């Protein structure tokens, strides 16, 4: 039987390809294999060692995390994390939490209970004696007891960070509600979105109904990732620019 393939190849722009190359160059493999397997990354001039495990999604490091870390490190003038209150959703192996902490933020790193052990281990080993603030690693299942765990009166975040949290899981509504609850008037969301299949990708359109959305990186042709900044619809873009400085 004759198969007909009519896939259209979208050319990768030089800017996109160069940026993707610079981001992926942040990772390296250990030259000597020791008793423990780890993957290496360089951010803020420091070597970061991440232990992965293949049994759960959150124990693998996804390229979106590198995209977000690269952005944070190279845009420190505009997005200065020093002394800022930051929460990461779906932190996984912890790279974004680690890099934000190295950049001076007070970070609350969250994920599902199953992921806590590996996340805590990676965060501790890479931030101990290197950061101004010790990151807090704690459970947060989207949509569950968020108001009790993070009362607005005492928990006000400057930034919500999220890398690759939208994919084919059944908690997209809960994730949206969690963003909505945690994002206060002056909060900025920095979210790296990996595009996969249409049903999940439509999350971006639904997100846009609740938040202003600005595209910071378009790496869709190289890595299938876009990096967004978002803020509440009742806040203007100008105000947010000033808040970020
Ligand atoms: C694809 S991984 C991305 C991990 C990490 N941010 C990265 O980019 O390497 C998705 C993360 O979302 C977390 N997650 C999935 N469903 C969740 C839920 N209902 N509540 C909280 N976290 C969840 C997973 O445990 C996992 O760490």
Predicted confidence band at 228 (pLDDT cuts at 50, 70, 90)?
very high
The answer to whether residue 1 sits within a structural domain is no
Overall average pLDDT of the 191-208 stretch: 94
Which protein residue's CA is at the shortest distance from atom 1 of ligand 1?
A: 164
Residue 64 predicted with pLDDT over 80: yes
Range of the domain at 189: 14-244
The answer to whether residue 97 sits within a structural domain is yes
The answer to whether residue 111 sits within a structural domain is yes
User: Comparing 12-16, 88-92, 165-169, 187-191, which segment has the lowest mean pLDDT?
Assistant: 12-16
Predicted confidence band at 13 (pLDDT cuts at 50, 70, 90)?
confident
pLDDT in tens, 92-112: 999 999 999 999 999 999 999
The answer to whether residue 44 sits within a structural domain is yes
Overall average pLDDT of the 207-232 stretch: 96
What is the domain-level CATH number for residue 98? 3.40.50.150
The answer to whether residue 4 sits within a structural domain is no
The answer to whether residue 139 sits within a structural domain is yes
Extended strands (E) in the chain: 27-28, 39-43, 46-50, 85-89, 106-111, 136-139, 159-163, 188-194, 211-219, 225-232
Indicate the top mutation candidate among 54, 66, 90, 145 to test ligand 1's pocket, ranked by most ligand atoms within 8 A of CB. Answer: 90
Which protein residue's CA is at the shortest distance from atom 14 of ligand 1?
A: 90
Our count of domains for the chain comes to: 1
CB-count burial class (<10 Å; 0-12, 13-18, 19+) for 23? buried
Overall average pLDDT of the 186-205 stretch: 94
Nearest to 213, CA basis, from 229, 225, 224: 229
- Residues 6 or more apart whose Cβ sits within 8 Å of residue 82: 103, 104, 105, 132
Residue 66 predicted with pLDDT over 50: yes
Return the number of other C-beta atoms located less than 10 Å from residue 155's C-beta.
15
pLDDT in tens, 17-32: 999 999 999 988 877 6
Q: Which atom of ligand 1 is nearest to the CA of 68?
A: 8
Q: Which atom of ligand 1 is nearest to the CA of 60?
A: 9
64 lines ligand 1 (CB under 6 A): yes
225 lines ligand 1 (CB under 6 A): no
The answer to whether residue 7 sits within a structural domain is no
């Amino acid at each position: 039987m004759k198969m007909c393939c009519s896939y259209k190849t979208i050319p990768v722009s030089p800017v996109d390809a160069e940026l993707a190359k610079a981001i992926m160059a942040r990772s390296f493999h250990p030259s000597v294999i020791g008793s423990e397997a780890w993957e290496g990354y360089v951010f803020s001039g420091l070597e970061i060692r991440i232990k992965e495990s293949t049994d759960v999604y959150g124990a693998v490091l996804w390229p979106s995390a590198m995209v977000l870390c690269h952005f944070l490190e190279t845009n420190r003038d505009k997005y200065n994390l020093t002394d800022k209150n930051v929460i990461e959703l779906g932190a996984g192996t912890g790279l974004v939490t680690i890099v934000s902490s190295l950049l001076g933020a007070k970070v609350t790193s969250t994920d599902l209970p199953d992921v806590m052990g590996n996340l805590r281990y990676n965060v501790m080993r890479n931030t101990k004696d290197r950061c101004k603030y010790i990151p807090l690693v704690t459970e947060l299942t989207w949509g569950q007891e968020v108001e009790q765990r993070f009362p607005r009166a005492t928990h006000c975040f400057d930034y919500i960070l999220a890398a690759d949290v939208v994919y084919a899981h059944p908690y997209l509504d809960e994730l949206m509600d969690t963003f909505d609850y945690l994002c206060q008037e002056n909060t900025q969301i920095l979210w790296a979105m990996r595009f996969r299949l249409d049903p999940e990708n439509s999350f971006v359109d639904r997100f846009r109904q609740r938040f202003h959305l600005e595209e910071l990186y378009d790496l869709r042709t190289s890595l299938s990732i876009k990096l967004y900044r978002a803020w509440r619809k009742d806040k203007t873009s100008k105000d947010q620019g000033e808040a970020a400085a």
